[in-house]
Each structure stands twice: as structure tokens, then as C-alpha cells.
Amino acid sequence: MLTQVSLNEHEKKRNLRGKLDQETDGDYHYLGGGVISPTISLESYLLKILQDGPMTRGELSAVTGIPRTTLYDTLVKLIMQDRVEKFSSSKRKRGRPNVYYRLVST
């Protein structure tokens, strides 16, 4: 099943970055090795970001500065805990569909 995502990617990233800045009086910074400053778990950080809507790993990496492989490992853990779900969306007729991650509805 394919789901359409209609938000402009650049606008979405700008809005998300602004919201995170307002909440923390500054940026979160990824320090490597799963460490984020100010102190917050990587899982909690991703859950907070995904509250604004579905995002791809590439979008998450661009917004957070966290490598895509680290994001993938963490997203798999969240999927196994039934906190995040993965779905595909394709606007094109050819090529790979975009894979999005979103919070699981409770």
C-alpha cells in the first residue's frame, strides 16, 4: 500500500529545525557514538522529530546530522518496539520508492 506525502521537503526541514531550536534555546548536536547534546537518548530524539510527520532516513540525516546507518539501526529498534512504522511512497513510475518512517498511531 502506497501513501502520498505532500509536504515540501525544504519547508518541512526548516519548520522542524525552527521547532527544535525553540524548544531547546539552541540546537541539539550529534556528537557521535549515539550521543546527543544536550543529553537526550537517540530514540527519544527521533521520536520527537517524527511527531511532525513522516520522514525518510535521508531527511532525518540532513536535519539531525546523524549518519544514515546509525539512524537505520535506531529506527529498526523502534520498529521492533512498535513505536515507529515504515512505509513506501512513490511519485515516480520508475526507480525505488521513497521509504518513510512515522510514529505508530496508538
Residue 62: give its domain's CATH number.
1.10.10.10
Quick: pLDDT tens for 12-43: 555 665 555 544 444 677 767 766 766 778 88
Q: Tell me whether residue 1 is in a domain.
A: no
Q: Is residue 2 part of a domain?
A: no
Residue 4 inside a domain? The answer is no
With a cut of 70, say whether residue 78 has pLDDT above it.
yes
At 16 the pLDDT is: 60
Higher pLDDT, 42 or 7: 42
36 lies in some domain:
yes
Residue 52 lies in a domain: yes
Q: What residues contact residue 90 under an 8 Å CB cut-off, 6+ apart?
A: 2, 97, 98
Which residue range forms the structural domain that includes residue 46? 9-103
* Cα angle value 103/77/25 (rounded, 5°): 60
The rounded percent of the chain whose pLDDT value lies above 70 is 65
Question: What's the total number of domains in the chain?
Answer: 1
